[in-house]
Amino acid sequence: MKNKILNRLKLISGPAALFMCLSLFSLKLEASTKKDTIVNSFKLKTVIIDPGHGAKAEGSPPGHYSRGADGSFSSERNVTLALGLKLQKAIEKDINGVKAVLTRSTADDVSWERRAQIANENKGQLFISLHCNSLADRVVRERVGTKRGKAVYKSVRVPDRSGKGVLMLIYGLHRSREEENAIKNNQVEEDSEMNGAALDPDDPVVIILTNEYKRKFRKQSVNIANFINDELVQNDGRRTEGLREQGLYVLCHAAMPSVLVETGYINNPEEEEYLNSEEGQNDIVNSIVRAIKSYKSQIEGVTTN
Ligand SMILES: [Zn+2]
């Protein structure tokens, strides 16, 4: 019994923790004289939906903006907006008592700073950022002819369309020194989501924010990421690259459990079709809705003994 209470408490974080702690124990005393039922009074009321990227409008306030990746006939920013609008509707229709707030509802981009602000101002309790993945071009040496009996090569960029599947990013400082150095020396391509969005892992402010975030929200972020990942794999038959930690501004500054969902590779022709299709978008939206329902019941769980 005690362990169950402690486990329940671990799920609850932030300023509400002390209050929850007191109310849980007073409930327990009362309950033990009746049916020994523990009621967790946390309710998931507000989910923030964050459609990644957008087109930067003229006169936008200062901040970080990013247009996102492009496929052969569509753009990440349009797919994420379509998914976000559908997801908002589906949440409000299918999950009782839960409001969904969008950080962006038009084609115009919203800065990362403003997105985090919208999430916090609306008292979001869960932050779901929607993106599409894309692989960077590969640079290969190609033989272009011969000169004085010797082969002549030049470097050419070749699109890499081999990426496939979904990926869940949760906030963390994942880069090792080797990775940092490899990026500096251009030995590896930076992840498309990382371009300019990465935080400096050596910055003391970043370290403090990271520790604070991990202490409060990491466990729930992993939980929601797992629920979404499992739904996409088990119901929609998607391939997955699993869960990965990444130092991302918008996830770090939204003071709530957060996950960034890479819904598929927009530069893979097959996945681009799927991401733009009615069927594909409905699959993704319905999977996320089911995942939120599972997360909601887990976090609001009523334990009966
Ligand atoms: Zn993106």
- Mean pLDDT in residue range 285-299: 96
In the reported structure, the alpha carbon of residue 195 is separated from the centroid of ligand 1 by a whole-number distance in angstroms of: 10
In the reported structure, the alpha carbon of residue 52 is separated from the centroid of ligand 1 by a whole-number distance in angstroms of: 6
In the reported structure, the alpha carbon of residue 268 is separated from the centroid of ligand 1 by a whole-number distance in angstroms of: 15
C-alpha span between 157 and 163 (Å, rounded): 16
14-25 pLDDT, tens digit per residue, is: 333 333 333 333
Half-sphere exposure in the Cβ direction for 52 (13 Å, CA): 27
- pLDDT value, residue 165: 97
- pLDDT value, residue 304: 47
In the reported structure, the alpha carbon of residue 168 is separated from the centroid of ligand 1 by a whole-number distance in angstroms of: 12
In the reported structure, the alpha carbon of residue 154 is separated from the centroid of ligand 1 by a whole-number distance in angstroms of: 31
Task: Please tell me whether residue 280 adopts helix, strand or coil conformation.
Answer: helix
- Mean pLDDT in residue range 41-53: 94
In the reported structure, the alpha carbon of residue 42 is separated from the centroid of ligand 1 by a whole-number distance in angstroms of: 32
In the reported structure, the alpha carbon of residue 152 is separated from the centroid of ligand 1 by a whole-number distance in angstroms of: 38
In the reported structure, the alpha carbon of residue 130 is separated from the centroid of ligand 1 by a whole-number distance in angstroms of: 7
In the reported structure, the alpha carbon of residue 206 is separated from the centroid of ligand 1 by a whole-number distance in angstroms of: 21
The length of the chain, given as a count of residues: 305
In angstroms, the Cα distances linking 164 to 195, 249, 267 are: 20, 25, 9
In the reported structure, the alpha carbon of residue 75 is separated from the centroid of ligand 1 by a whole-number distance in angstroms of: 10
226-252 pLDDT, tens digit per residue, is: 999 999 999 999 999 999 888 777 676
C-alpha span between 227 and 289 (Å, rounded): 10
**Residue 12 pLDDT exceeds 50:** no
In the reported structure, the alpha carbon of residue 216 is separated from the centroid of ligand 1 by a whole-number distance in angstroms of: 25
In the reported structure, the alpha carbon of residue 54 is separated from the centroid of ligand 1 by a whole-number distance in angstroms of: 10
In the reported structure, the alpha carbon of residue 21 is separated from the centroid of ligand 1 by a whole-number distance in angstroms of: 38
Using alpha carbons, select from 169, 176, 54 the residue that is nearest to residue 115: 54
**Residue 2 pLDDT exceeds 80:** no
- pLDDT value, residue 247: 74
In the reported structure, the alpha carbon of residue 202 is separated from the centroid of ligand 1 by a whole-number distance in angstroms of: 24
- pLDDT value, residue 245: 84
- pLDDT value, residue 198: 61
Name all contacts of 189-193 with Cβ < 8 Å and 24+ positions apart: 189/136, 190/136, 191/246, 192/69, 192/133, 192/134, 192/135, 192/136, 193/131, 193/133, 193/169, 193/246, 193/248, 193/260, 193/262
C-alpha span between 288 and 283 (Å, rounded): 9
In the reported structure, the alpha carbon of residue 251 is separated from the centroid of ligand 1 by a whole-number distance in angstroms of: 13
pLDDT class for 99, splitting at 50, 70, 90?
Answer: very high
pLDDT class for 197, splitting at 50, 70, 90?
Answer: low
Give residue 184's identity as a one-letter amino acid code.
K
74-96 pLDDT, tens digit per residue, is: 999 999 999 999 999 999 999 99
CB-based neighbours (< 5 A) of ligand 1, an ion: 52, 68, 131
Q: For residue 96, give every residue at least 6 positions away whose Cβ sits within 8 Å of its Cβ, in sequence order, or none.
A: none
142-180 pLDDT, tens digit per residue, is: 898 999 999 999 999 999 999 999 999 987 654 444 444
Residue owning tokens 């009782």: 96
In the reported structure, the alpha carbon of residue 178 is separated from the centroid of ligand 1 by a whole-number distance in angstroms of: 24
In the reported structure, the alpha carbon of residue 137 is separated from the centroid of ligand 1 by a whole-number distance in angstroms of: 16
In the reported structure, the alpha carbon of residue 296 is separated from the centroid of ligand 1 by a whole-number distance in angstroms of: 26
- Mean pLDDT in residue range 48-53: 96
Select the more confidently predicted residue: 210 or 292.
Answer: 292
- pLDDT value, residue 38: 57
In the reported structure, the alpha carbon of residue 131 is separated from the centroid of ligand 1 by a whole-number distance in angstroms of: 4
